[in-house]
Structure 1
Amino acid sequence: MNLMTAFRNLDSYGRRRAPEVIRHEAALLERRLVRFRPELVRLEVSVSQTRGKKRIRADLRLGLPTGVIAAREEGFGIEPVLHRAFAALGRRLDRLLSRLARAPEWKRPARRARTGRLLPPAPDRAEADRRALFFDLIEDHLDHLYNVVRRELTYLEASGAVPAGRLSVRSLVAATILSGLERFEQRPTEFSVGDWLTGLAWRTIEAEARAARRAVPDDAASLDETPDQPAGEPTAADQEMFEFYQPDDLLLLEDLVADEDGEGAETLAVRREAALALHRALADLPVLWRKVVQRLHIEDETPEQTAAVLDLSAQEVARIAEAGRAFLHQRLIEAGHAPDSAEAALADAETEVAQIPQPLEDRDRIATAMTGNRDGRPHGTSNTAEHADH
């Protein structure tokens, strides 16, 4: 690290102690900068004292490949002022390193502690049998539940209703399943288990989204601190670091569009752009409207089923469906699509949505929690092949 110092109007004690304190604090700071090449790091320290007065001001400027951060402190003692200035600079450096590593997207200690294990072991045989029965009921609906959560969370993040990266599909699916386990004996019987899980998922997402909007951001700065200096233009090293830390499960509207085979490149590009425009418009729909449109046009459910799941009347479903379709049609036209292509995009909405199977790791985690085994069978049971071998 390149270190530059400047002292103005310091008394004899300040001129003697300031270099010692700066060298000590700079050495501690340098240990946190091992990811940067030393020749690309520059620390400038300026300490001044008002002529004829005892007030001291310390200005620190740390130049990194990713930009510049600074800190300033004032006081009446050279050592306390420098220690506070370096402490403030260290806090801002920690926030910068956290953003570079995208820590807010994966480092949530409280949530990780809760979701490290989906459920504790069953306390008795009756609870184990209850969990196994519940898993048998929901096993065939896990892929559908995963896609419902994935789509809705993507729309919420795309519209800005939920901070990007604040919630995860895995944790929302787990929370939905736990909610279902608590009340599955009281589940409504007028519609299927899949519809019941869908309703639970929507309520879970809505509650978690409200909590996420109220939560303090992970990289929030104190109002008592001086704002960070704006970063400079990104370098090649910045871009490499960003690509290295780019999360694989980043939610994008593009990932909701199904892949098509057997068509020409030009036709494919037109259909994909129309599908993306449709998803952007869906993200802007009011939440209730989006649920109705998805049930009717993407999941191909009947108005009666939609009304039962959403606890609406058939007249309300029809009114919302008509208004939502008109909204989407207008948005597609505003996005530059011809009326006939807009109609085609709405008609093909079901086939244009990608359906992705739930990750095997997540499914195994749920099966282990509910039955005690990764394959979904309770402890102490064996399959037919095992019986045949013996």
Structure 2
Amino acid sequence: MDAMTPAAAESFRWNIVTKEVHGHPQLRQRLRRAIARLERHLQTFPPDTVHLQIRLDGEAQPNRITAALTLRLPSNILHAEKAHADAARAVEEAVSVLVRQLEALKERLRREPAWKRKARRERVAFAAEPLPAGAGPETAGEVARSLFEMHRAGLARYARRLLGRAAPSLPAERVEAEVASLVGEAADKLPALMADKPARMSERAWHYRLVREALQARLRRIGAAPAAPSAPPASPAEADQARQALVAALDQALAGLSAAEREIFDLHFHEGFAPEEVAMVVGKPPAEVRRTIGMLAERLRDALRHEEATAAAAAGTGA
């Protein structure tokens, strides 16, 4: 549905949804000029992870047009809404709000371990024309669902690890069926729960919490109690042998962790969440999560020092 030609592959996508507003070519050109202000702030994001939806509503207020802009990014959805007698002016004012939100978001991201500056590349701009009618998400729920789908692989990995610790005796095929069911359940609940997301929580962290809550609800229904911590099953997505060996070494080094500590480890070190967002996902005080992450980091450093010493001793004996 969102297929693009190769020439448009390195453009940011956008679409327009109108209600009692005529989206004539001259208006589209003015809107395209207005949203160009966002481009400078979007250069660090992969083009295919960015989508801007412009909704123009001429019914909400007499003699005024409401412009609602929804910007989907890799881990967040930003929203701004302004009203004006002129549609393009309403969009320009909403763009100013999005620019401020983007600046604040990027400042937060720079402090997170998962944030990486992209290599310098050719400047990316919004496509010259919006997507055809019906070719992009047309409601806030559809925008949110499209972002959820971008995170599906990570959510499945997270659910697989949680389930592996809670029900270690489940056969592998049953685990995969349960994982698909849990992630699907979270996706189905997403539109109804959008208003419940804490304001400071990213959509990505919110998706992880929904999957976590779905698993907890399922365990309560079937009366299962969390099992003692054990090494989680390898993910089918982790087929690379070097990565598997690294994960196995980390699991061995962190043996004996409680289920809560193991989950904090997964979210911070595997999934790349900052301590504050880990706290939001698991529902624990940020200070407690930071202390746990500090303890885990020290264990990892000790394990690495031990491995380095072992390797050096083996090399010295010619092993």
Give the TM-score normalised by structure 2. Answer: 0.41
Larger radius of gyration: 1
